[in-house]
Structures are given as C-alpha cells and as structure tokens.
C-alpha cells in the first residue's frame, strides 16, 4: 500500500473492477463547503465511456454518499462516496487468469500477491478506480473554486494528431476555442486504430489558474513532486513535464529563464517556461503541465504472453471490453488529481480555512 | 515543509548554501550494513564541481558522520552526516537581495517566507543541498548493493547534443562504452554557452538493474510515483518519463505493449517500453527513466527583474558563482534519489531485512 | 483530520451516528489471508449493546464488504467494510442542537466546525464509530493469529468494583476463570447507576501474548507510543498505563526492574513490571496495559449547560439513548486497536509477510 | 524507525550516548520567529544533571545551530541543532556488553539489531537523547509563546512523596508557590534511595494554558493521542492520564462531567475532569495531564541478568553513571514534547501562521 494520498486533504481509494463498487474517502475537507452532488456527478459523467470511441461496458456511475455531508455541506468528517459496479462480466478473465495481458499489471501483480489478487478486469489495478479519484477531485475542485482557483485539462495529442498547447498562440490558461476540424481528425485517429483492433496513446495538458504566489514547499513537497506523485497513480501515465519540460534541455538559460516584470501592480513573468513553479513554489503565473499516456494496453490483436502455470509461451487474444484511447477519458482524472494536490498544499499553507457556518 | 522523504527508509535534509553546513539524517537503514565512508565520499566527489565546466566555488565536501555508525556498520539508529560550507562569499547576495534572479526560487520564496528566508546563495533552495541527497543516496546504494540491485545514471543529452540512450543499440542497462568523440562535443556545447555568459540544460537517464519483479505498490506508492516525487525535489528538474515515456503517446498499443517470453526459465519482455514498471510494480526488467533538467538559471547575461522593495522593473547581472550546466552534476543526484526510493520500497516489501550481526 | 492510523497496516474510519453507515478501509493487509466474515461479525456482536445494561438503540450491525476480499481471502487491495445505521432517531438532537452536552464533544466541535458538523447523536464523534475500529481490528486479529499472536482484553474495574488484574494470581495472560459472583457485583454496580439516571466508568486491561522479542521501534514508534495513540482515539478513554504503570512512581528501581532468567532455553523476566516493553521494543513477555474509561457522559440527570446561540446558561436533560457504562462495550474496541498497532509494527518489522497463494 | 514526530511541525532526533553528539532537525517552524539561543540553552540547562542528586557525567550541553536560523530568526527551512558529547567513558559497557541491564532496552535491542546497535551507554536508547527533544521543544515553546500559549510541567510525586497537583487548591494552571519543606522531603526521598544504591520513580504533571477551544482533531489526531504518542517516546515513561484520568473509572457520570457556565462572556466548565479535552479537541480550559515515570533502571545493587553469548544466568553490577531519579530531569522533557504536539496541532489548525517579515 498506499491507497491514500495527501497530508491535510487526503483521499483514500478502494474497490475492484468486478467487485461491488469503487469508492473514496476524503479526509480533511474543511467543514461548511457546499457540495451539490450534481457537480460531482458531472465530473463522473465526463469520465464515463460514451459513443463509438469507448468500451461497451456501460455503468450508470451514480455517486452515492456514505458519510461526511450534512444538509448539503461538508461536516468536517470523512466524506465517503461510492459508485456501484453493475455491468460486470468476468468470464473472459476466468478463462485467461494465468495469461498475463501485455501492458497490464497482471504479471507483476501475480508475483507480488502470489496469485491471490482479484484478476477479474484487473481487480484494483483497473482504470475503473479512476472514478474514485474523480469523486475525490470533485470535492477538491469545489474547495478550490471557493478560493477562485481553477483546474482545467484538455487533450493536446492523440496518437500522431497534435492539438494546440498552452503557450501556442495564447498564455492565459483558458481553453482554446473548440476546433471542430481538429476534433474530427482526433476522432478519425482513434477510430482507425480501433478498426485495426489496436489503440492509441495521447497527451493531456493541465492548467491551474489563479493560484497565488508562494504556495507549495521546497524539496519533497514541491508542487511538481506532489502533482507528479499523484499523476503517476493514474493507470497508463508514463511521463510528465512542467512548463517547457523536456524542451528546456536544449534551451540556453537566457531563453529558458522567465524574466520578471510588473503588470497591473503585480509581479509576473514575461514567459512561463517554468510552468508557474520555481523552487517548488507557485510564482503566481498559471501552473502548466503535460501528462503522457500510453495506448490502451487491451487490444484485439493477438499478442505473445506466457502461461504462468505451465510456464510456457502462449498467444493471448483479449476479448474484454475496453476503450481504444484511455487518454480521452483521462482528462477529468488528471484534473482531479491536480485539484487534490493543490487543495492539500493550499490548506497546509493556510490559504484555505473555510469553515464558516450557520452560527 | 517537508524536507524528509520515505516511509521506512527516510532521508531528511537540512542546511543552507551559506550556513555552517549541509546535512542529512537517514532513518530506517537496517543495522549491520557495512559503510565504508570512502564510498560515500566517492559519491560526493562525483557531484563536486571540477574543471573549467564548473563553478569556481570550491568546497572540500568531506563527509562527517554525526551518528548512526558504530564500528563501521549501521547501528539501526538515525545515520546523520554533514559536509561543511567553507568557501562562502555572500557579498553579491547582500547587494541584490530585493532583485529576484529569473529562474530561481527567490521571488516565490520572498512571498512565502515574507522575506525572512536566507537569501544568500539561494539559502536552502540552493543546489548545494543536493550534497545531502547524495550522502543519503550513498547509504541507499550500499543497501541495494547488498541485495544485488544497482542504480546508474548518465547524461543522454546536453543542450542540443544527444548521446545514446537505453534501448538504442543495447538493452542491458549497462552504461555504453565511453565515447571520447561524443564527450568532446558535450564539452564544447557547454563551453560555448559559458563563453556566451549563458548556460545549457540536459537530460539524465537512470537505470535500476536486478530489481526483482513485484516490488512497488499500486496507486500512490507506485515506483513511478515515488521516483517522480523524489526526482522533482532536485533543483532544476522539470520533466520525467519512464520507458518510452512521451513517445508512447504516438504509438499504437500493439507497438507499445511489451510482449512476454521465457528466457532462461524466467518471464521477461521482448521490449521494455514500460521502463520495467507495470501497474506501479517492477516487472523484473530494468527500470529506466529520463529526467529533464533546465539550464542553470544563473547566467552572466543581463536579465530583466523587479526590485521587490521599490516595486519597479530593474536589470540584474549575476556575478555569483555557478556551473554552466547543472545537468552534468545532477547525474549522481538522480542516482541518489532513485536509490532512496527503491531502498524504501524494497524494505517495505520485505525484500531487504539485513541485520546480521556479530552474535 | 486524521481519521486514519498505521503506516503499513492502516485503518481509515468514516461515518456518522445518524448518517447512512459506519465504515472502515483497511490498507496494507497482506494478500492471501483467509477472512471468515463470521469472525468479523463475532467481534461486532461482542461490541453490540445487549440486555438491560445497554442503550435501547438496536442496530443489526451486519458487516458488509465493499472491497478487498476475493474468494474469501484478502486480495492485497484496500479492504473496506460497512455496517448500516438503521435505528436512527434524531428528534432530541434537533431540539437541543445549541445545548452542548457536558462530557461530550459538542461544544469544542461547534467551535471547530463553526456549527457545520453533524450534531445528531454526536455525528462522527459518536461511540458508534467504534464499530469501524472493531471491523478493522477483526482483520488485524486474523492476521496476528496467523503469526500465533493473541490479543485479549477484559474489564478489571467497573465503578468502584475491582476485578482481578494481570499479575494478581496469574501471569500467563490467559483470562482468569469467569467468576459469576464478581460478574453479579459488576452488573449491580451498573444497574444501580442506571437506576439513579447516572453512569459509571471502568478500566479495561489488555494483553498481547506470544509477541516475539524485538518488535517495535525506539522513540516515536515505540509499542507504547503506537498503542497509546490508537487507544486515545476511542471515545471516553482518558488514561493508559503499561505494566505496573503509575505504580512504578512509588517503587524503588530494585523492585521495579524485571530481572532476567533463562526458562526453557529462552530469556525471560521474573516479573513483568515493564508490561513486556523495554525501550519501546517487545521483550518477549506478555504486553500488558490498562485503559481508564470515563463514565458515559450521557445521563438522565439534569445538568448545567449553555445555550450557544443565546449565550446564556441553561439546563439540559438528555433523553437520547445510551449505555450506563461504555467501558463494558469498550473491551472489544481496545482489543481491536491494540491488534491494529501490533499488526502494523510486525509487518513493518518483517515479522508478517504472508502472501501465500494458489500458484 | 521512526525518529521523527509531527505532521506540519516535525522533529527528528539523532545521536547516541557515546557518539559525537545528540541533535534534532525541526521542520515546519514558520519563518520569522525570533529565537534567542539563550532561551534554548535555558531549557537544556533545566534538563542538565546537577548536584548530589544527579549523574556524575558532566556535559556542557551547549546548543550549536547547524541550519535554519538567519539573523536570529527562523528562515522557514529545517532548523537543526546539536549538543556535543564530551564526557564519555565506555569502559564499563565494553566489559558488560553481553549482559543486558534489567529495566533497560539492552535485551530487546540486542535481538532486534542482532547485536549491531551501539551498546555504549544505551546508544540511541539513552536518556541523553532527550536533549534533542528539549531543543526541539524549545523552538515549539517560542512559537507557542507568540500565540500566548504556555506549557509548564512540575513534579507531583517522587517515590512515596506526593506534592500538590492541579485542581488541589487551585485550578489556574499556574505553578503552586514553591514549598521549601516539600522540596526538602523530595530531596530526602531521592538521597535515601541513592544511599541504598537504589533509585525512585515519580510523576510529572503538565499544563497547557491559553489554548483556544476547538484545537485538535477527532480520532487519531486527538490532543490525547498526539501527546500520549510523544510522551511515550521519552525513556522511562510508563503511564499517562488526562484530567481526572484513572480516577474517572470509579466516578459517576454526574460527578465526572464538567458542567458548562459563562464566565466573562466566555463558555467555561465548572470543573476540569476532562483535562481540557473533549472528543480530542480543546475546550478552552487548561489542558492537564500526568505522566508516570519509572525509577532509573541503572542501580548499584547487584541484579540478576543473563549472559547472551553463553546463554547462562549471571549477576550484573552497574557502575555506569546515572541519576537516582530520572523523573526530576524529565520535567523539561515532558514540557518539550507537549509543546511540540500543541505547536503541530495549532499550525495544522491554521491557528499559527506567523511569517511576518522585514518586507
């Protein structure tokens, strides 16, 4: 373990793909925060598979609160929520339990848990667990909104299709105007892979707006450390970069450094190659990072595997249900974990202490 | 805070660039581990500035043990070590304390600590603090060596100069044969920048060999989460990717998935695009990741800043001492933090329990 | 917060007295542990109010597993369980919400949460939350049993009635033979208080048998620190002592020190005034501690309180449902938290690594 | 491990009795706190052995700062301090290393660390480590003083000699007027034991004044949990009770409950049997607790032990240097750990956010 993250604002996830439910316990949310469950539901709905581009497994994913809300407000205690698993079919997994799927956790999990873990649909390694992160992140986003901090993510790459990123034609952190032509191309990229019995990866960019300067900590609780830690808990994530990221390697210092200026009485930087973070602390500029997500490992094409009981090589053909591009559904999940990190750091920094009540 | 990292094997760093010393407390190292101080010293020496390519600040950086070693072995208690600061010159910083250096933590630190932090040489934000990480990592490396696990890092890019990476012509994790021609080009890239009063960034690749399958944890203590968390605490790091990393975004699943095979009776994968990690757990293949490091922010070229007292724009010319490429010296630091993470995860997984004694 | 406890074996509790349920997430239980739900249920049943001596609130308290069990064994993921709240009546609390009950958390909770906490039945401060501890402790007890470690608690004082303690006539840790005469006197002590519209406190003694020597940690993770930490999270606990406890204050060293001897080839101590713990580590002798529990704060007698809205003194008469002696029901709760602590320390010490599977 | 304690205000201790020094790293102290080293020194001096009643080992115990102070104020980084060991004599320990001293950690430490721990003077189990706690607590006390919170401890029992406690003739938390006659009797009690080659235990009472209502957390971070956790890390502590403590067991609820009233416009309680804590949260009344400390285990009288190499029973005669009553010197240590806990809880509760600077 650990299935929990955060010091003062903490989420703990539980559940399995084919068990009764997936859930989250949120500790440390200040009391008195108004939570409209429809807001949490909207986040879950953004994550839900939909249309031709998604898994045929269909879950209602209705959020159910088990504790922590009282008269529509957080009550200061642990806030726990679940979504139930309804559309479960374990037959494929029962037949193939000794054949680890390439790109999945099956093989190392079999070793680590000595074959005792729930192998159906990936068990607790399933992408379905991200519903728990989204519920926890939904609470964090409400809390951040009360401090005017906004977290938004979007796709900037799907397979070979690249979409505009932060800093390309705009530096405000606002989402670029939707471009139907580009969306069409993205859709085609995914469908093409799907028709080949294959899948594609992608890159998600996330922006945190209105974070005041000086939030975060040096060293092990730097904004980068915290966000990277949380982001790598999302299944399929294999890379992260802040600001100009890997591009900084080939820059000169004079090009990479963000020079300071005063705008409207406030210290800002002309560029934002640092992604709004220096020394682990926020600079007051938008926090910007990109997350690289691998192609869905479940594909219809035949792959080489190994029969772990017989210890002999074998071929695996996956008939389980899956999305051809998990990056699409990762967008609200990246937002969620970023919101959780920022909420935790702001609370720890004394920047959020809302408890105001009905007294 | 936090200046500490790790659950069962934990390092806590302390010190400032211009204070008495830089130090580390290592908790959780099992008793009975033989520590030859010369091994720790060798790690420190690898990190030390040297030659034309480095800062003129010259520190002996001799490790001094304050606790935790008894008759040349760890005694089970906190192992603390320091290196003293000797070659300190704070004059430039005293004169420029209200002028934040672009690319440094000066500005957000001024806000966060209300101007009370030690601004001399960056205070506790200084790259000099990495000496503490290297000492802690030196202990971790000894511990891992006792379990036959090896952590090695090397430069794979400096400025625009690219060097061979893992998987390019070799997949063993062993360092490629040194290439004097390439080294010459790297040196030239750095010197050129230095002569221009400028600096360059770089990329460090790190490999963990012989890690058994099944180490690590799903979700928040995944190997990726832990390593990324620790790596982003190194000043100047802005990006990390595991295995094929961002490259996975444009791959198809059939190309990205590492197929399983049996080699010498052991399950392996044909490729290693996952960087030796699936579902946060080690697969038994080499763990491989790359770290993007920005150019040294301190450059001689004039830059725009802001006088924080007068709140007016100003020009800053840095005469402090600095390296033209911190990526060069980051190599042993990346190794150190990776070793700390892996040691912690192995201990927590019951894979390292050495205490054998003189009984 | 925190509603979670433990480093490698961790429980996180959630719920409110009058909300939908009370639950627990157990992280870090090794995979492959057989859990018979009836064993967990038996622990819950021991905690349930029963008979004339208990609250008239009657809950079925049937354990329901939400995650972490697969084919009757732990699967290595978070194990979550709930019991539902069914027999809820909030009317008294609605009428008296601005009148803090003496001896309850009402007043400081009102201040801390600005009146936004769930005041019905004490909300998340309710003794009902101990059902979550008992479920988590039930898992810990199963895990300890697999290592032959046994945790048992019993009443040694109820009001003015004292029962035999460890070391009084026996030193084996085994429960003394039940004494119907003594039980009669205890019952009478409680009934007498109840008839007066009053309540009584008590002392619970807990013993951990078969814990090998050398478990625990010096300083902040000493067995005493961990157990005391967890025990004080039980509502109503106000005191704890290990071994001879407060009695050691008036002893001489020559009397207090437990001399060593060899018995059956094993080092033991003649006496056990240290309660099986020296320097925070287990000595191999039974771990023994006693927990002081205050009288149930809810009593029928009229008490002085303050109307927090009007800010004027007032009289409160509590008609809520309650036990006249919470110490009786605290017995399995003390066992539960002790088991959680010992399981965590043993796992961290590499003494429990069971994962054995069906491979 | 762990040698560290606290979430946002955290102390990590290191050192051995016969090593180079004993030290502490304090993380999370807000920047801008004025620290006069003489204040820290005064705390150390209170802990120092003195006079006929103390160990003949004489250490100067001059605090030396390694990091974290800048111009006499905390700078927001880790504050580290050491005291050096000067008067070290390891000869007795070398000769008796296989003979565990009754009442000391020697035996379980030998098992846990397989004989690799530093056995000289108890190594890191030594009471000398409390100097680290006192230095860390000194910082906490300064921080609390800035919020007008005061922590004071005093002896209320030495051997069979009882001194007045909180609530006996006064309820203000202020120390009772010193009573030369009582002090004389205490001194005689200790000297008598010393002359017999023996030692005595004692009880220390600690009071926290001016803590506002609502500080602390329910369950695992209750004030009681945190203080008990920290207090049991002090060598020799075997018991703790809050308010009326174990005495509550024999009280009726109507007697134990602290009724509310209004005094000077503020809600208070008539009595303080709860020790200023309800539901883990402060009530605004003084926090009061008592700590039971065992007699110094090192005595001159011959005791039975076991030769761990030969595995045969043996007699041990301790000639090491020691105090006849560690409770006397524990007074400032109890204060220190209580201050550390309260500082941590107040910072986490947003009650202390001092950073004010020279901007």
Contacts of B68 in chain C (CB under 8 A): none
Joined together, the tokens standing for residue A57 give 């497994």
- Of residues C131, C154, C273, C151, the one with CA closest to residue C204: C154
**Mean pLDDT confidence for D59-87:** 95
Q: Do D310 and D242 contact (CB within 8 A), yes or no?
A: no
For A182, residues 6+ apart whose C-beta sits below 8 A from its C-beta are A161, A163
pLDDT-derived band at A59 (thresholds 50, 70, 90) equals: confident
> Is the pTM above the cut of 0.80?
yes
Asked if residue A282 has pLDDT above 60, the reply is yes
Please give, rounded to a whole number of angstroms, the shortest distance from the CA of C28 to a CA of chain D.
18
Does the beta-carbon distance from C357 to A114 stay under 8 Å?
Answer: yes
Cα–Cα distance for residue pair D239/C248, rounded to 1 Å: 9
Taking an 8 Å cut-off on Cβ atoms, the answer to whether A82 and C70 are in contact is no
Q: Which pair of structure tokens corresponds to residue A55? A: 């898994």
Of A215, A210, A272, A284, whose CA–CA distance to A243 is shortest?
A272
Q: Distance from C23 to chain A by nearest Cα, in Å?
A: 9
Residue with tokens 């004059």: B91
Handedness of CA A214, A217, A219, A220 (dihedral sign): negative
The least confident of A226-240, C180-194, D210-224 is: C180-194
Contact status of D25 with chain B (Cβ, < 8 Å): yes
Closest residue by Cα to residue D154 from D139, D170, D136, D131? D170
What residues of chain A lie within 8 A of the CB of D10, using their CB?
none
Residue D321, pLDDT score: 67
pLDDT band at A168 (very low <50, low <70, confident <90, very high): low
Q: In chain C, what percentage of residues exceed pLDDT 70?
A: 93
Local confidence band at D350 (pLDDT 50, 70, 90 cut-offs):
confident
What is the predicted pLDDT for the residue at B169?
47
Give the gap in angstroms from C-alpha D78 to the nearest C-alpha of chain A.
11
Q: Given a contact as 3+ CB pairs under 8 Å, which chains touch A?
A: B, C, D
Distance CA B249, CA B263 (A): 29
Cβ <8 Å between A118 and C65: no
Residue whose entry in the numeric block shows the structure tokens 């000639």: D319
Of D272, D221, D289, the residue nearest C102 (C-alpha): D272
Name the token pair of D279.
Answer: 């539901």
d(C-alpha A153, C-alpha A133), whole Å: 15
Residues of C in contact with A16 (CB under 8 A): 67-68, 70, 75, 77
Confidence of residue C226 (pLDDT cuts 50, 70, 90): very high
DSSP label of C185: H
- The residue with greater pLDDT, D303 or C59, is D303
pLDDT at residue C173 is higher than 70: no
Residue D350 is nearest to which of A77, A218, A353, comparing CB atoms? A353
B4-348: which CATH topology? Chorismate synthase, AroC fold (3.60.150)
Nearest chain B residue to D33 by CA: give it: B116
Give the tokens for residue D131. Answer: 């100097």
User: How close does chain A come to C136, measured CA to CA in Å?
Assistant: 15
Give the best residue of C31, C279, C350 to mutate against chain B (max B CB count within 10 A): C350
Please report, rounded to a whole number, the percentage of residues in chain B having pLDDT higher than 90.
83
Kindly state whether A118 is in contact with chain C, defined as any CB-CB distance less than 8 angstroms: yes
Tell me what pLDDT residue A56 has.
Answer: 73
Q: Which residue's entry shows tokens 């890690």?
A: B211
D98 and B CB contact within 8 Å? no
Q: Would an 8 Å CB–CB cutoff place B181 in contact with chain D?
A: no
pLDDT above 90 (res A74): yes
Report the percent of chain B where pLDDT is more than 70: 93
Instruction: Return left, alpha or beta for A29; rule: phi > 0 is left, psi -120 to 50 is alpha, else beta.
Output: beta
B356 pLDDT more than 70: no
Residue C167 pLDDT class (50, 70, 90 cuts): confident
**Cβ of residue C80 closer than 8 Å to a chain A Cβ:** yes
Tell me the mean pLDDT in the region B78-100.
93
pLDDT digits (tens, 9 = 90+) for C297-327: 999 999 999 999 999 999 999 986 678 999 9
Q: Measure D242 CA to nearest chain C CA, in Å.
A: 5
Scored b (16 or more CB within 10 A) or e, B291-307 reads bbbbbbbbbbeebbbbb
Q: Which two tokens stand for residue A162?
A: 């690249």
- Report the pLDDT averaged over residues C228-232: 98
Show the tokens assigned to A120.
Answer: 């159906």
Sort out which chain C residues have CB atoms less than 8 A from A123's CB and list them.
Answer: 70, 75, 77
Chain A residues with CB-CB distance to B200 below 8 A: 250-253
How many residue contacts between A and D have a Cβ separation below 8 Å?
11
Could you tell me the pLDDT band of residue A51, with boundaries at 50, 70 and 90?
Answer: low
Two tokens, residue B140: 């971790």
Residue C191's Cβ-side half-sphere holds a number of Cα atoms within 13 Å equal to 8
CA distance, residue C4 to nearest chain A CA (Å): 9
**Contacts of B107 by beta carbon, 8 Å cutoff, 6+ apart:** A213, A260, A267, A278, A283, B100, B306, B308
Q: Check if A244 contacts B (Cβ < 8 Å).
A: yes
What confidence tier does D177 reach under pLDDT thresholds 50, 70, 90? low
Query: Nearest CA of chain D to the CA of B267: how many Å?
Result: 36
Q: Quick one: pLDDT at residue D170?
A: 45
**Whole-number pLDDT of residue C170:** 45
What is the mean predicted confidence (pLDDT) over A151-167? 93
Count the alpha carbons within 13 Å of D354 in the hemisphere toward its beta carbon.
17
The token duo for A210 is 């209105």
Q: DSSP letters of D260-284?
A: EEEETTEEEESS-TTTTEETTEE-S
Mean pLDDT within C73-98 = 93
Using CB atoms, pick whichever of C77, C218, C353 lies closest to residue B350. Answer: C353
Summarize chain C as % helix, strand, coil (round to 5). Answer: 30, 25, 45
At residue A227 the predicted structure's pLDDT band, cuts being 50, 70 and 90, is very high
- What's the pLDDT at B60? 87
pLDDT for C199 beyond 70:
yes
Residue in the structure block whose two tokens are 């927990």? C291
Cα dihedral B219, B213, B234, B29, rounded to 10, equals 100
Quick count: other Cβ atoms within 10 Å of Cβ C8?
23
Whether C269 has a pLDDT exceeding 80, the answer reads yes
C-alpha span between C5 and C28 (Å, rounded): 12
Could you give the CA distance from residue D152 to residue D207 in angstroms, rounded to a whole number?
A: 5
Q: Point out the residue among A10, A77, A80 whose CB comes nearest to the CB of C123.
A: A77
| Mutation to test the C interface, candidates A25, A116, A117, most C Cβ within 10 Å | A116
Give chain C positions within 8 Å (CB) of A10: 1-2, 4
pLDDT tens-digit series, residues C54-68: 777 778 899 999 999
- The residue of chain B with its CA nearest to that of D68 is B15
Torsion angles phi and psi, residue C128, rounded to 5: -60, -25
| pLDDT for the residue numbered D52 | 64
Query: Cβ contact (<8 Å) for C306 and D267?
Result: yes
- Confidence bin at A359 (pLDDT 50/70/90): very low
**Which residues of chain A make contact with C12, given a CB cutoff of 8 A?**
4, 12, 25, 27, 78
Contacts of D159 in chain C (CB under 8 A): 249-250, 252
Q: In the 8-state DSSP scheme, what is residue A291?
A: E
Contact D74, D33 (CB under 8 A): yes
Nearest of D189, D240, D206 to residue C245 by alpha carbon: D240
Q: What is the pLDDT of residue A323?
A: 86
- Residue C293: which of D203, D249, D299 has the nearest Cβ? D249
Which residues touch A294 (CB under 8 Å, ≥6 apart)? A103, A201, A236, A237, A238, B244, B248, B249, B251, B253, B256, B273, B274
pLDDT above 80: residue B355:
no
d(CA D97, CA D93) in angstroms, rounded, equals 5
Give B175's pLDDT tier (boundaries 50, 70, 90).
Answer: low
The answer to whether B32 faces chain D, any CB pair under 8 Å, is yes
Say if D112 is an interface residue toward chain C (CB within 8 Å). yes
| A355–C contact, CB cutoff 8 A | yes
Query: Sheet harboring B64-67: ordered strands across?
Result: B4-5, B10-15, B21-27, B79-84, B64-67
What residues contact D81, with CB distance under 8 A and at least 6 apart?
D23, D24, D26, D40, D63, D64, D65, D66, D135
| pLDDT value at A169 more than 60 | no
Mean pLDDT over residues B318-345, rounded?
Answer: 93
Q: Which of B25, B71, B128 is nearest to B340 (CA)?
A: B25
pLDDT at A226: 98
Tokens found for residue B89: 């010159």
Half-sphere exposure of residue A224, counting CA atoms within 13 Å on the CB side?
34
> Is A129 near chain B, with CB under 8 Å?
yes
- Closest to B2 (Cα-Cα) out of A226, C1, A278: A226
CB atoms within 10 A of CB B160: 12
A189 contact C CB<8A: no
Asked if the model's pLDDT at residue B68 lies above 50, the reply is yes
A267 touches chain D (CB under 8 A): no
Cβ atoms of C53 and C328 closer than 8 Å: yes
Top-confidence residue, B87 or D205: D205
Amino acid C166: pLDDT: 82
pLDDT at C124: 95
Q: What is the Cα–Cα distance from C293 to C234, expressed in whole angstroms?
A: 9
C-alpha dihedral over D211, D214, D217, D223, to 10 degrees? 30
Provide the number of CB pairs (under 8 Å) joining chain B to chain C: 11
Closest partner residue to B200 among A4, A230, A252, by Cβ? Answer: A252
With CB atoms and an 8 Å threshold, state whether B304 touches A109: no
The listed range with the strongest mean pLDDT (A46-60, B157-171, C12-26, C159-173) is: C12-26
Lowest mean pLDDT among A173-177, D161-165, D230-234, D272-276: A173-177
Task: Please provide the DSSP assignment of A2-13 as one string.
Answer: --EE-SSSEEEE
Residue B119 confidence (pLDDT): 93
Determine the pLDDT at residue D169.
Answer: 47
Q: Does A123 touch chain C (CB under 8 A)?
A: yes
CB C346 within 8 A of CB C352: yes
Q: Is B60 on the interface with A (CB under 8 A)?
A: no
Residues of chain C contacting B8 with CB distance shorter than 8 Å: 7-8, 348
User: What is the rounded end-to-end Cα distance, in angstroms, of chain B?
Assistant: 41
Across the interface, do A114 and C74 touch by the CB < 8 Å criterion? Answer: no
The SS3 assignment for B125 reads helix
On chain A, the residues whose CB falls within 8 A of the CB of C2 are 10, 27-28
Judged by CB atoms closer than 8 Å, whether chains meet at B78 and D27 is answered as no
- Give the end-to-end CA distance of chain C in Å, rounded to a whole number: 41
């Amino acid at each position: 373990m650990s299935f929990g993250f955060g010091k003062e604002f903490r989420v703990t996830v539980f559940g399995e793909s084919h068990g009764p439910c997936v859930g989250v316990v949120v500790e440390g949310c200040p009391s008195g925060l108004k939570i409209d469950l429809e807001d949490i539901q909207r986040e879950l709905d953004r994550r839900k598979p939909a249309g031709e581009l998604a898994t045929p497994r269909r879950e209602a994913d209705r959020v159910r609160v088990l504790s922590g809300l009282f008269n529509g407000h957080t009550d200061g205690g642990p806030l726990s929520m679940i979504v139930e698993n309804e559309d479960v079919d374990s037959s494929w997994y029962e037949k193939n339990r000794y054949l680890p799927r390439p790109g999945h956790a099956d093989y190392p999990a079999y070793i680590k848990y000595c074959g005792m873990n729930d192998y159906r649909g990936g068990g607790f390694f399933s992408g379905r667990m991200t519903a728990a992160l989204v519920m926890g992140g939904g609470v964090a986003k409400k809390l951040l909104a009360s401090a005017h901090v906004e977290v938004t993510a979007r796709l900037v790459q799907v397979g070979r299709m690249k979409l505009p990123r932060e800093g390309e034609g705009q530096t405000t952190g606002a989402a670029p105007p939707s471009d139907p032509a580009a969306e069409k191309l993205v859709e085609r990229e995914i469908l093409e892979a799907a028709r080949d019995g294959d899948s594609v990866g992608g890159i998600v960019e996330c922006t945190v707006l209105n974070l005041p300067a000086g939030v975060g900590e040096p060293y092990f609780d730097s904004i980068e450390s915290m966000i990277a830690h949380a982001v790598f808990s999302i299944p399929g994530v294999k890379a992260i970069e802040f600001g100009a990221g890997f591009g900084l390697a080939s820059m000169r210092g004079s090009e990479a450094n963000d020079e300071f200026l005063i705008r409207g009485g406030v210290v800002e930087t002309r560029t934002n190659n640092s992604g709004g973070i220096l020394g682990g602390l926020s600079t007051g500029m938008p926090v910007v990072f990109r997350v690289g997500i691998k192609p869905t490992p479940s594909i219809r094409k035949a792959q080489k595997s190994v029969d772990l009981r017989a210890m002999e090589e074998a071929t695996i053909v996956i008939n389980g249900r899956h999305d051809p591009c998990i990056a699409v559904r990762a967008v609200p999940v990246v937002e969620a974990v970023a919101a959780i990190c920022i909420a935790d750091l702001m609370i720890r920094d004394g920047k959020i202490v809302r408890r105001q009540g009905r007294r």
